[in-house]
Amino acid sequence: MKAAIENRFAEQVDFLRELVKVPSDNPPGDTEHHALRTAELLEGLGFTVEKHPVPEPFVRQNGMVSVTNLIIRETFGDGFGPVIALNAHGDVVPPGEGWTKDPYGAEIDDGALYGRGAAVSKGDFATYAFALLALREYADELEGSVELHLTYDEEAGGFVGPKWLLEQELTKPDYAISAGFSYAATTAHNGCLHMEVIFRGRQAHAAMPESGADALQAATPVLTALYAERERLKSIQSEQDGIGSPQITVGLISGGINTNVVPERVSLRVDRRLIPEENGEQVEEQLIELIEALVPEDCGVEVECRRIMIAEPLRELPGAKKLVEALKWPAKEVLGIELKSTGAPLYTDARHYAEAGIPTVLYGAGPRSILEANAHGADEHLQLSDLKAATIIVADALKTLLR
């Protein structure tokens, strides 16, 4: 397996460079062009690529412009063995500022490939595709199927990516491996509640504020309570390694029209991270109750709490241990490490597979942490040695699972 991957490694790096060079920022979420370019490159490798465009109303409902998801299906033997999905996403956060490299240049410097999406998670388009190519050399020994699910809305929640593919019954895998990093297998991760809190008062001249209803004044005790809630949450710890405490952040505040006008409308955007032991809807109910209790009914200000998104945590299913075990021995062989299962304090597309009852782990190409990769930051990069190692490890794990 190692020789098969090493023989095509230069081709694999060129493949990834081409993916990084095509912008697929989300927002705005106009990702179809990247999907079509990816399909073209994959077809050049000899794959048959299914293109599954999501209807525009559903795309717009999820705050995006265009989404076309890709599926590759490879059957070994009579196909009676397990169906294993490999999922990575091609949409990326916008580059932002502070880069010393061109975020779309796919420059290689000191053994690392730089560019937005190199680590999260265009790198795993390359990991999974070339692992599958290497697996073909052992086709006579294998029984089952491997599917590549290359999706395009992870940064918006995955609702028209993996969730869409599963709900439309375009796929029904027995196991799933989703994009991750090389030095641990992630079996659980946080969920997330995004909520907008809107305060509606009545505009007035600043010389006579009592003639209006000040939306910002009503919002102030709510802000104070949310930061007190942040402190309270520190006392709660997940039992899952790598997760830590629930978190709450007010990430965006907007309101008012001018300095000399009592603000009639103020909105807060709240991010509440959920540990696997929590339920998103219950947390939402408790948070709404906390907020509404702080706005007096007779103050002239109405408060509305509007859900933007709930992403439930990834919770480990019993079959996930089989995936971790299959990854362990090649990780020891290739990286010289004892691969451990852990949790991660973020949320990903992987949860949609687990919610459908499919044992799922996150594993792919990358360093020991998101911080090391500068993922979602300036100068995001992927060490090419990690790309090669992860490809060998995934291919060997698949070989084990399909026997």
Q: Is the pLDDT of residue 372 over 90?
A: no
Q: Are strands 302-311 and 191-200 parallel, antiparallel or unpaired?
A: antiparallel
What backbone torsions phi and psi does residue 86 show, to the nearest 5 degrees? -115, 115
The mean pLDDT of 209-218, rounded to a whole number, is 96
The mean pLDDT of 266-281, rounded to a whole number, is 97
State what percent of residues in the chain have pLDDT above 90: 95
CB atoms within 10 A of CB 389: 22
**Cα–Cα distance for residue pair 394/323, rounded to 1 Å:** 10
Q: What is the pLDDT of residue 368?
A: 86
* Cα–Cα nearest to 278, from 255, 244, 323, 249: 244
Q: What is the pLDDT of residue 276?
A: 95
State what percent of residues in the chain have pLDDT above 70: 100
* Cα–Cα nearest to 16, from 38, 32, 35: 38
Q: What is the pLDDT of residue 375?
A: 87
Q: Is the pLDDT of residue 1 over 90?
A: no
Per-residue pLDDT tens digits for 144-172? 999 999 999 999 889 999 999 999 999 99
Q: What is the mean pLDDT of the chain?
A: 96
Q: What is the pLDDT of residue 229?
A: 98
Q: Is the pLDDT of residue 53 over 90?
A: yes
Per-residue pLDDT tens digits for 341-369? 999 988 899 999 999 999 999 999 999 88
Q: Which residues pair with 188 in a beta bridge?
A: 343
The separation between the first and the last C-alpha atoms of the chain, rounded to the nearest angstrom, is 15
Indicate the pLDDT class of residue 209, thresholds 50, 70 and 90.
very high
CB atoms within 10 A of CB 170: 14
Q: What contacts 134, CB < 8 A, 6 or more positions away?
A: 1, 4, 5, 8, 391, 392, 395
- At CA 326, angle to CA 320 and CA 329, rounded to 5? 135
Per-residue pLDDT tens digits for 305-355? 999 999 999 999 999 999 999 999 999 999 999 999 999 988 899 999 999
Indicate the pLDDT class of residue 77, thresholds 50, 70 and 90.
very high
Q: What is the pLDDT of residue 132?
A: 98
Q: What is the pLDDT of residue 76?
A: 97
Q: What is the pLDDT of residue 373?
A: 84
